Chain A
Amino acid sequence: MLETIRIITFPSVWHAFRAEKILKAAGIECTMIPVPRELSSSCQGLAAKIAAQALEQALTLLDEQQVQMEKRGVSVSKL
């Protein structure tokens, strides 16, 4: 199960919500979560939890819409 989840992080809440809108409009399941502490010690921004098989499509879409991302789909233990 863990291997099938990827995390995308964003530099600000605004980019995160834009990403959520874009992904949901494209029918890609994603869940918004606080940035896992393993990934960033900064307290700004949100992260999107997304299925691994949808990652490539999601990144392409988000790049097209110029959504800024920090971590582009990492797997996190203990989630």
Chain B
Amino acid sequence: MSTVWVIVAGLAFGLGAVLLVQAGNPGNYGFCAACHLRDIAGALGIHKTPVLQYARPEIMGWVIGAFVLSKTSGEFRPRGGSAPLIRFLLGALMMLGALVFLGCPLRALLRLSGGDLNGITALAGFLAGIGSGIIFLRNGFSLGRARAISGPIAFAGYLPVIFAAALAAAVAAGASFLYFSTKGPGSQHAPVLISLVAGLITGAIAMKTRMCLSGGFRDYFLVKDTSLLKIYGLLFVSATVANMFFGSFKLGFTGQPLAHTMHLWNFLGLYLVGVSATLLGGCPLRQLIMAADGNTDAAICVLGMLAGAGAAHTLNMAASGAGVPINGQLAVAAGIVVTFAIGWMFREKALVEATV
């Protein structure tokens, strides 16, 4: 990947995230593929937590921006059929883990850039999770090949962008069928147009660069390739500098926005995300981008994430500033066991025993 795109992507995500907070988003909440989707689930009534309901246009922008670029560059390709139900389940578990930590891997990095040291615990868990996932990959894990979809059913590839566009229009119009938080984090947001434009730009960039934090670490661990990690390095540095500039950098574990200090669960929450993302072939951000460029399996994973957000909040599993409820602790433990079972069961059988 060219250095120019590494710089563009790192700066756009790093500075964009801090600027979105300045424009009204909650602290260290400029971009988050998990929490923003959770808020969208709230806006759609999939969960009824009154303070977490807002159809965040950043996410719709990602999908639309990635779609437009993939379509214009000829990379849009409807495809699917690689173990959709397993991807749904892994998506739900990935969301569960993220909501126990309170952030996707991208937000973990953004939280750290705002001085929230819980990000370190979480990223350590994420790395450990990727390491575990890689063990399954090396032992033959695969969810099977996706196939190109052609003919009338290729229309399915367009559903994510159609849904995103409709939802963007609805939130811009303040549609009455959506839930809008009147207090709490869901009520704090940048103006719709700013959020949407920020999403469109970064979504196209994410499509162009294939950026993915789990993929970045996986490529590094497997073949020592650092091209994806460089983006996140610059993202972190630029967001940190911007946070210091705006006075939103506050070093410590406690008193951080939308965070808790239960270290074990911060670690295990993103551990679950790391394993799930490695088995899925992409972190939450990447799943949204792939869903936009025609990958219906990624779209199913996103649906799983929405369902997971609904379940996490309805069944009192999601964390809050007060910490992780016992349901969430049990669910993460069970989730880790389930991902291990999936990693073990879905191994390709060798057609012949390798002779070397």
Using a CB–CB cutoff of 8 Å, the interface residues on chain A facing chain B are 11-15, 17-18, 21-22, 25, 32-34, 37, 41-44, 46, 65-66, 78
Q: Would A42 and B281 count as touching, CB distance under 8 A?
A: yes
Query: Contact string, B134-152, partner A, CB cutoff 8 A, digits 1/0?
Result: 1001111110011000000
Q: Would B222 and A46 count as touching, CB distance under 8 A?
A: yes
Q: Inside 8 A of B286's CB, which chain A residues have their CB?
A: 43
Q: Would B354 and A18 count as touching, CB distance under 8 A?
A: yes
Q: Would B227 and A34 count as touching, CB distance under 8 A?
A: yes
- Chain A residue, CB-CB nearest to B137: A13
Q: A12-B140, A12-B348, A25-B356 are in contact. Are A41 and B227 (CB under 8 A)?
A: no
**Can you list 21 residue pairs at the A/B interface with Cβ under 8 Å?**
A11-B142, A12-B142, A13-B134, A13-B137, A13-B138, A14-B138, A14-B139, A15-B348, A17-B138, A21-B354, A32-B222, A32-B223, A41-B70, A41-B77, A41-B295, A42-B146, A42-B295, A43-B281, A65-B354, A65-B355, A65-B356
Q: Inside 8 A of B138's CB, which chain A residues have their CB?
A: 13-14, 17
Which residues between 164 and 221 of chain B lie within 8 Å of chain A, taking CB atoms? 210, 212, 215, 219
Q: Inside 8 A of A34's CB, which chain B residues have their CB?
A: 215, 219, 223, 225, 227-228
Q: Would B145 and A11 count as touching, CB distance under 8 A?
A: yes
- Chain B residue, CB-CB nearest to A32: B223
Q: Would B146 and A12 count as touching, CB distance under 8 A?
A: no
Which of A15, A17, A37, A41 is B290 in contact with, Cβ under 8 Å? Answer: A41
Interchain CA distance A62-B140 in the complex, whole Å: 16
Q: A12-B141, A18-B354 are in contact. Are A41 and B75 (CB under 8 A)?
A: yes
Q: What DSSP secondary structure best describes chain A's contact surface?
A: mixed
Q: Would A12 and B210 count as touching, CB distance under 8 A?
A: no
Q: Would B354 and A14 count as touching, CB distance under 8 A?
A: no
Q: Inside 8 A of B142's CB, which chain A residues have their CB?
A: 11-12, 14, 44
With contacts A12-B140, A32-B223, A34-B215 known, what are 13 further pairs, Cβ within 8 A?
A11-B142, A11-B145, A12-B137, A14-B140, A15-B348, A22-B354, A22-B356, A34-B223, A34-B228, A37-B210, A41-B290, A43-B281, A78-B2
6 closest A-B pairs by beta carbon, nearest first, are A44-B281, A12-B142, A13-B137, A14-B140, A43-B281, A66-B351
- Chain B residue, CB-CB nearest to A37: B210
Query: Contact string, B246-268, partner A, CB cutoff 8 A, digits 1/0?
Result: 00000000000000000000000
Q: Would A37 and B1 count as touching, CB distance under 8 A?
A: yes
- Chain A residue, CB-CB nearest to B293: A41
Interchain CA distance A41-B146 in the complex, whole Å: 12
Interchain CA distance A25-B227 in the complex, whole Å: 29
B282 at the binding interface (Cβ < 8 Å): yes
- Chain B residue, CB-CB nearest to A24: B356
Q: Inside 8 A of B70's CB, which chain A residues have their CB?
A: 41
Q: Inside 8 A of A37's CB, which chain B residues have their CB?
A: 1, 210
Q: Inside 8 A of A15's CB, which chain B residues have their CB?
A: 348
Q: Inside 8 A of B355's CB, which chain A residues have their CB?
A: 65
Q: Would B210 and A41 count as touching, CB distance under 8 A?
A: yes
